[in-house]
Structure 1
Amino acid sequence: MHIDHFKETFQTITDQRQGAKVTYCLFEVLFGSLCAVIAGAKGWFDIREYILGHHDWFKNNNLFVSGIPADDTIARIISTIEPEQFHRCFIKWMSSIHTLTEGQVIAIDGKTLRGSYNRQDRASTIHMISAYASSNKLVLGQLKTEQKSNEITAIPELI
């Protein structure tokens, strides 16, 4: 992963924090979080642990030189990012690092997320539909559907 290319692509994300109160750079937290999630982090604590475990590498690349934020701080910083803005940057970044193949197979599949049923408020399980580029081994998009039976009607929206 080329850090400069990532930074160039994501520099358009607006940092909505008050300048005088900023201790940790938005880019550092965003980049560290993305690396951690790609490596399998499942939450804010895991993200911080990943950055701690790779702190020497980050410091060698001039990231997190002044320290690593707490997991709550990482969550607050990431929560300030506008989802649509992040989505546009992420799609642009993924498009720039993956090559398109002619005749590529796009697999579409619906799944019910294991453990998503909430017994306390009796909320129904979460059903997701995903489009997967087989050649690139890349999920192109996902969409939450209201019910398992709505998967077929959700495919055009996903595409």
Structure 2
Amino acid sequence: MAKGFVKAQQEREALILKNSVLKHFQHLRDPRVERTQKHSLVAMITIAILAVLSGADGFVAIETYGKAKQVWLETFLELPNGIPSHDTFGRVFGLLDPQELETSFLSWVSCITEKLALKLIHIDGKTTKGSYDRAGQLKALQSVSAWSSEHGLVLASAKSGEQIQ
């Protein structure tokens, strides 16, 4: 009986995740020609977000994550053509309007933080060691992020010169 309860709970959580992602990302304009849309844009964005939250740092890592978690991802995403290749992820994300994607992502994060009733958001800044260039007179690379330690969730991040909204 306990296994049945756990499975039902996982299915419920998968449905909540699917509905949440659909609500905030389904309106994004798909920049691809219709005949080249082998993979759902919402599915690709979902896989990418989950992969990055799990530590993926590039399109190859996103593809690797997708293949490793494909069985689980198929519980809430339609993946009739499997996991997109890293080239497909790169091509599609290169075509997306970054402002539109950022707006959708921040809307999604805002909804999550509201539902989780986050009370404390931590701000952390970092300077990348050895990233300055004296010859080129370039300053060191710096980044700042906002996160919830209570939930282990990065809410936003920005590099030098970018603005967190």
The partner residue of 2:38 within 23, 47, 61 is 23
Percent identity of equivalent pairs: 28
- Residues 140/55 of structure 1: CA separation in 2 closer, same or farther (3 Å cut): closer
Q: Distance in 2 between matches of 1:133 and 1:106?
A: 5
SS of aligned partner of 1:60: coil
- Residues 24/128 of structure 1: CA separation in 2 closer, same or farther (3 Å cut): same
Q: Distance in 2 between matches of 1:35 and 1:124?
A: 32
The partner residue of 1:33 within 48, 51, 69 is 48
Aligned CA RMSD, in angstroms, stands at: 3.0
Q: Distance in 1 between matches of 2:133 and 2:39?
A: 36
- Residues 115/66 of structure 1: CA separation in 2 closer, same or farther (3 Å cut): farther
- Residues 67/120 of structure 1: CA separation in 2 closer, same or farther (3 Å cut): farther
Q: Which residue of 2 aligns with 1:151?
A: none
Q: How does 1:83-102 map to 2 (within 5 A)?
A: 83-99=98-114, 100=117
Bigger mean CA deviation after superposition, 75-84 or 116-125: 116-125
Following superposition, the deviation at residue 144 of structure 1 comes to: 3.0
Q: What are structure 2's unaligned runs of at least 5 residues?
A: 1-13
Q: What are structure 1's unaligned runs of at least 5 residues?
A: 147-153
Letter of the structure 2 residue corresponding to residue 61 of structure 1: F
- Residues 139/29 of structure 1: CA separation in 2 closer, same or farther (3 Å cut): closer
SS of aligned partner of 1:142: strand
TM-score by length of 2: 0.72
SS of aligned partner of 1:47: helix
Following superposition, the deviation at residue 120 of structure 1 comes to: 9.7
Following superposition, the deviation at residue 14 of structure 1 comes to: 0.7
Q: Which residue of 2 aligns with 1:14?
A: 29
Q: How does 1:131-142 map to 2 (within 5 A)?
A: 131-133=146-148, 138-142=153-157
TM-score by length of 1: 0.74
Q: Which residue of 2 aligns with 1:126?
A: 141
